[in-house]
Amino acid sequence: MSSLFEKHSSEHKGENREMMNLHGKRNRMMRWILPLILLSGCGKNPEELAVIETELGSMIIRFYEDSAPKHVESFKILAGEGYFDGTAFHRVMPEFVIQGGDPNSKDSDRINDGEGGRAGKFYGIGARETSATWMLPAEFNDRPHSRGALSMARGPNSDSAGSQFFICVQPVNRLDGQYTVFGQVVRGLDVVDKIVNVETPGMLDSGYSGADIDNPLEPVRMRVYLTTDEALGIELADDL
């Protein structure tokens, strides 16, 4: 009986050692798995950006969805439709802004540039059945009109923005709180500088007073599309 007990005890000790080895391996594996899980959980989702592509170079736009959600949504809808493609920067003013996004700028009539455009969807302003009348409600916010700020052009009425946007060449603080800033150029400010310095009737003739005084003589046309920071292979700061 004693030999049987000793044999059983020996086997039991062997099983214990094996179980301890298994526990040790599991603990070592968990030490690796846990950091990997934590790291994978910290990864940021790709951020949607816009690229404004011209023959003078491209600008990458980051959006302020928290500050102007309707303006950002409308711009993205229009970009997705290809609405901006072929339009031109019809207004360029050194030390001020470059402005574009008007479908009227696609043709050869320079005089009506700056009079067209609509919102991407119906936001309660205009006739629901007639998309050409859709306008955006103002979303004035505390974002400054700093260099590279993307803001929405409008008429005398605060709720009259459509598709026309402008980019500030330098800080224009007098526009703060009067126009809706909804994005920022994060790459391509040198392109903004190139565009604002193209020749216009007003630049060549200081006495010129036509409606196209700030409209480039050679159209600077654009293509606008949506992408992500991941697709572009760029890394953006966390703070907006």
- pLDDT of res. 5: 40
- pLDDT of res. 24: 53
More confident residue, 193 or 44: 193
- pLDDT of res. 196: 98
pTM: 0.82
Q: Quickly tell me which residue has 């009425």 as its tokens.
A: 157
Over 90: is that where the pLDDT of 30 sits? no
Same domain as 18, residue 134: no
Q: What percent of the chain has pLDDT over 70?
A: 82
Report phi then psi at 205, rounded to 5: -140, 105
- pLDDT of res. 238: 82
Residue 51 CB neighbours (<10 A) = 19
**Total domains present in the chain:** 2
Question: Which pLDDT band holds residue 41 (cuts at 50, 70, 90)?
Answer: very low
Instruction: Choose among 14, 35, 17: nearest CA to 25.
Output: 17
Rounded to whole angstroms, how far apart are CA atoms 8 and 14? Answer: 10
Is the Cβ–Cβ distance between 110 and 212 less than 8 Å?
A: yes
> Is residue 239 situated within a structural domain?
no
Q: What average pLDDT does the chain have?
A: 88
Same domain as 52, residue 32: no
Token readout for 192 is 């903004």
Query: DSSP secondary-structure letter at 138?
Result: P
* Section 87-102 average pLDDT: 98
Token readout for 188 is 């391509």
Q: Quickly tell me which residue has 């060449």 as its tokens.
A: 169
Range of the domain at 63: 48-232
Instruction: Choose among 122, 144, 147: nearest CA to 132.
Output: 122
Same domain as 52, residue 36: no
CATH of the domain at 67: 2.40.100.10
Lowest mean pLDDT among 24-33, 42-51, 72-81, 215-224: 24-33
Same domain as 65, residue 6: no
> Is residue 21 situated within a structural domain?
yes
> Is residue 101 situated within a structural domain?
yes
* Section 188-213 average pLDDT: 97
Same domain as 8, residue 97: no
Same domain as 70, residue 14: no
Question: Which pLDDT band holds residue 138 (cuts at 50, 70, 90)?
Answer: very high
- pLDDT of res. 202: 96
Same domain as 190, residue 169: yes
- pLDDT of res. 44: 76
